[in-house]
């Protein structure tokens, strides 16, 4: 039925599919046209995000530290952070792996754990921009090796969606920082790259990084 | 860099007072003469990003930074200058809410900030901006959650 046409997609040939009988398909069979399908492990949409999250083995995965940050709801997203950090560390074989505390401190810095935080261009916990949303769903774009599909702007207010997307984007930013610097980036350089500020010399960037570091240190404090 | 100059009031009415609540939630109570609002061009190599800061002159004549810690587009940053500027102009006394520590030692830096026509050194203290109110109830929340009152978070 399906033939490999590349690393990330398969071409599904025209084939019959059973459907409820109707005036259009009185025999209960329709013909599905040839179409492209992403190979599992290179694509997520709303349904597969939910399925993976529900079925993902929690055994041995690392959770972020809890009860350390200031906001009342700071620990509400720990499980999503743990699952999706582990998932993308494994998918991309990231070494050293991304640290769940780093994701949590970034979330603090981006939205103060406010799921519906919005500016004119950025939305949600991880403040994913409308432009980034397009890039992350473009099968020919810069993150074509692992993309999302059927995600709408309003979905970014849903932590179940915005967290895996934010972590996937952070993994890409990590690779990009390495490419720009010509060496493995520090965690702080990855955070600056996520914010689009790796080369910025501004006072604000310094203050924002300082604020991030304090959150991260709180999470690491025993 | 865009910034809003707030006219200086008489020194006799100048107030700077801090209240720390549990878990490093701070309230800075302050008069307009000690405030300066800035949208700083972050010179990002990716997009036109701006960083929003409220600089507050403290009782030691050093400057605390209260910043919105996510980069903003130009329009969102200027919206903050305009709306918070109105809150400051309408009020005599502002309460600024932010997360972070005001107990860290002051470390005066080379970064100088203009407040009321004079330059003061930053002191290394940075709070994450949450919201600002005045005594008339005018309020602006940096994260603007629909359906929630401004000061709720």
Its domain, for residue B102, covers: 2-144
**The predicted structure's pLDDT at residue A1:** 46
Strands, sheet with A9-12, edge to edge from the N-terminal-most edge strand? A2-4, A9-12, A35-38
- Cα-only R_g, chain A: 20
Q: Do A214 and B45 touch (CB under 8 A)?
A: no
How do residues A22-42 score in pLDDT, each as one tens digit? Answer: 888 888 888 877 666 677 778
How do residues A62-83 score in pLDDT, each as one tens digit? Answer: 999 999 998 889 999 999 999 9
Architecture in CATH of A40-220: Orthogonal Bundle (1.10)
How close, in Å, is residue A199 to chain B by CA atoms? 7
How close, in Å, is residue A108 to chain B by CA atoms? 9
Q: CA A102, A103, A105: angle at the middle one, nearest 5?
A: 65
> To the nearest 10°, the Cα dihedral for A55, A60, A64, A67?
100
How do residues A111-121 score in pLDDT, each as one tens digit? Answer: 999 999 989 89
Residue B41 or B46, more confident? B41
Average pLDDT of chain A is 91
Is residue B100 included in any domain, yes or no?
yes
C-alpha atoms less than 13 angstroms from C-alpha of A59 in its C-beta half-sphere: 2
Is residue B76 included in any domain, yes or no?
yes
Query: Nearest chain A Cα to B77, which residue?
Result: A119
- pLDDT-derived band at B146 (thresholds 50, 70, 90) equals low
Q: Do A202 and B51 touch (CB under 8 A)?
A: yes
Is residue B151 included in any domain, yes or no?
no
Q: Do A205 and B42 touch (CB under 8 A)?
A: yes
How do residues B79-125 score in pLDDT, each as one tens digit? Answer: 999 999 999 999 999 999 999 989 889 998 888 999 999 999 999 99
- The answer to whether the beta carbons of residues B2 and B39 sit under 8 Å apart is yes
Tokens (6 digits) for A4: 């490999």
Q: Where are the domains of chain A?
A: 1-37, 40-220
* Structural domain count of chain B: 1
CB proximity under 8 Å: B 86-145 to A: 99-101, 111, 122, 124, 126-128, 130, 142-145
- The answer to whether the beta carbons of residues B31 and B15 sit under 8 Å apart is yes
**The predicted structure's pLDDT at residue B11:** 52
């Amino acid at each position: 039925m399906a033939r490999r046409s590349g690393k990330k997609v398969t071409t599904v040939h025209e084939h019959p599919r059973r459907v409820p009988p109707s005036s259009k398909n009185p025999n209960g069979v329709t013909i599905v046209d040839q179409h492209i399908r992403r190979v599992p492990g290179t694509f997520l949409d709303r349904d597969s995000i939910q399925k993976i999250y529900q079925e993902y083995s929690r055994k041995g995965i690392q959770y972020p530290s809890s009860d350390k940050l200031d906001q009342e709801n700071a620990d509400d997203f720990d499980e999503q952070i743990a699952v999706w950090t582990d998932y993308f560390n494994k998918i991309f074989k990231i070494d050293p792996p991304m640290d769940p505390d780093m994701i949590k401190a970034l979330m603090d810095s981006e939205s103060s754990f406010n799921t519906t935080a919005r500016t004119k261009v950025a939305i949600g916990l991880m403040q994913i921009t409308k432009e980034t949303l397009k890039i992350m769903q473009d099968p020919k774009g810069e993150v074509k090796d692992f993309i999302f599909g059927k995600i709408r702007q309003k979905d970014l207010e849903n932590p179940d969606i915005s967290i895996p997307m934010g972590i996937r984007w952070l993994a890409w930013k990590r690779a990009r920082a390495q490419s720009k610097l010509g060496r493995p980036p520090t965690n702080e350089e990855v955070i600056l790259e996520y914010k689009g500020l790796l080369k910025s010399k501004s006072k604000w960037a310094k203050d924002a990084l300082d604020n991030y570091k304090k959150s991260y240190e709180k999470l690491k404090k025993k | 860099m865009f910034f809003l100059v707030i006219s200086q009031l008489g020194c006799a009415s100048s107030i700077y007072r801090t209240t720390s609540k549990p878990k490093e939630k701070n309230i800075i109570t302050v008069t307009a003469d000690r405030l300066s609002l800035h949208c700083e061009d972050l010179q990002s190599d990716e997009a036109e990003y701006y960083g929003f800061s409220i600089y507050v002159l403290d009782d030691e004549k050093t400057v605390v930074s209260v910043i919105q810690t996510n980069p903003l587009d130009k329009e969102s940053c200027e919206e903050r200058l305009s709306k918070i500027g109105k809150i400051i102009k309408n009020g005599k006394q502002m309460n600024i809410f932010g997360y972070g520590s005001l107990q860290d030692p002051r470390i005066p830096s080379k970064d100088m900030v203009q407040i009321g026509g004079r330059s003061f050194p930053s002191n290394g203290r940075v709070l994450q901006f949450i919201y600002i109110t005045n005594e008339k109830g005018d309020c602006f929340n940096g994260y603007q959650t629909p359906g929630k009152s401004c000061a709720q978070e």
